[in-house]
A = this chain, B = another copy of it.
Amino acid sequence: MKRYEDLSPSQRCIMTPGPVEVDPRVLRAMSFPVLGQFDPEFTSIMNETMEMLRELFATSNSWAYPIDGTSRSGIEAVMVSLILPGERVLIPIFGRFGHLLHEIAERCGAEVFVLEKPWGSVFEPDEVIAAMETFKPHVVAMVHGETSTGRVQPLAEIGRACRRMDTLFIVDAVATIGGIPVETDAWMLDAVVGGTQKCLSIPSGMAPITYNDRAEAKLMTRKRVERGIRASDVQPGDLSFVRSNYFDLGMLQDYWSPQRLNHHTEMTSMLYALREGLRLTLEEGLDARFARHILHEKALVAGLTAMGLELYGDPSCKLTVVTCVLIPEGIDGEAVRSLLLGRFGIEIASSFGPLKGRIWRIGTMGFSCRENNVLRLLGALEAALQRHGFKGPCGFGVQAALDVYEAKVR
């Protein structure tokens, strides 16, 4: 019999746009013994988590709970539940994850209308609103923070327009939730999907979502109770049902309601992690947390610039929590990344599609977003660049970041 070694993952400094490092208190929470899914102690943890999620999403929505899967499971759950086959869906795309929304909408059987913006920029709200007037979509689905390009899309005006035109507005806030403001109610977002493994610094495995009464009303038109636990039979001609059982929000909300109608077996340990991560986030305070992300971004950007590196993309819509850096001429980006990971234990990200080989993406998210990580990365990146023949100025990167931190203390 083959013997497998004890698990012993290395301690990494993870400066990617996710998954990022996890606070040891969150890791510890997962090591607590499990409870049964209908144990009153467990259902009260479920209820508390919903309460914390409402605060996180800045909403008074009734419904705020996690989907049991990775971030894209949350996106798929919201889309497959809120988009009927044949409905018109408008998707303004400004990076890789907009294409994912397109992909999922198409699989939902929607008639998809796409707007595309060159990577590195975002939409003027008016461009989106004009397209809404043309295509009269039932749903608009959009990414808030694009990690592929490091850009952030303003949403409030589009939200207002959607409300006015009675269009549902679905937002992918996977990369932004807990790192920059996501104002569900104020911006009139009808359904929002967050991610755990980015600014919340919880391991990948759950996707917190929230949706309002408008979204719920649409769910109710497609509602059905599962075979094997439902009382009466379904009308045979009714084809409006959601094409997924696992992602049917109408059933999931019954499971998250006091009714506790049996559906899946909630992921106990992941829910412990989510609750603990939310607790730490709310304890820090959302505003303080957003300010922390801004501070470390500032130090990082100062350091990179002082090293002679150039940032990618339109600075007016830069996403605080992801910094995209042009790989200098003549430097092999992947060789630098390998050296950073292999020798220094530091991970930064490569990129997708048209940006492949052109930029690195550096995350400053959640628990990874801290002074010693930023300083460590800048020092190591400079050394790795030199090692690969980069002829930039030497020794300035870390100093520039220290200047930012010391100015802040003063």
Residues of A within 8 A of B (CB): 1-4, 7-12, 14, 16, 18-22, 27-37, 39, 41-42, 45, 48, 51-52, 68-73, 76, 80, 96-100, 102-104, 106-109, 197, 203-205, 226-229, 241-247, 262-270, 272-273, 275-276, 279, 282-283, 285, 341, 347, 352-353
Contacts and interface: CB of A to CB of B under 8 A. Distances in A.
Given A68-B205, A227-B99, A4 B48 contact: yes
A57 B7 CA distance: 22
22 contacts: A4-B48, A18-B265, A19-B268, A20-B34, A22-B33, A27-B269, A30-B269, A34-B203, A36-B347, A72-B263, A72-B264, A99-B226, A99-B229, A103-B227, A103-B245, A107-B242, A107-B245, A108-B243, A203-B268, A203-B270, A228-B352, A243-B243
A263 B72 CA distance: 9
A328 to B, nearest CB: 23
Nearest to A7: B29
Contacts of A243: 107-109, 243-244
B270 A270 contact: yes
Contacts of A203: 34, 267-270
A19 B31 contact: no
Contact of A9 (B3, B27, B68, B272): B272
**Copies of the protein in its oligomer:** 2
B265 A197 contact: yes
Nearest to A226: B103
Given A4-B48, A73-B264, 19 more contacts: A1-B285, A4-B275, A4-B279, A4-B282, A4-B283, A9-B34, A10-B33, A18-B265, A19-B37, A39-B341, A70-B267, A73-B73, A76-B245, A76-B246, A103-B227, A204-B266, A205-B267, A205-B269, A270-B270
Contacts of A32: 7-9, 27
A213 to B, nearest CB: 24
A41 B272 CA distance: 26
A109 B276 CA distance: 40
A103 B242 CA distance: 11
A177 B226 CA distance: 25
Contact of A30 (B27, B263, B265): B27
User: Which of A246, A267, A352 has the most chain B CB atoms inside 10 A of its CB?
Assistant: A246
A34 B7 contact: no
A33 B11 contact: yes
A99 B245 CA distance: 12
A96 B72 CA distance: 29
Nearest to A27: B31
Contacts of A102: 227-228
A275 B7 contact: yes
Given A72-B264, A264-B71, A19 B36 contact: yes
Contact of A42 (B4, B9, B242, B264): B9
User: Which of A76, A241, A264, A276 has the most chain B CB atoms inside 10 A of its CB?
Assistant: A264
Contact of A204 (B2, B9, B71, B267): B267
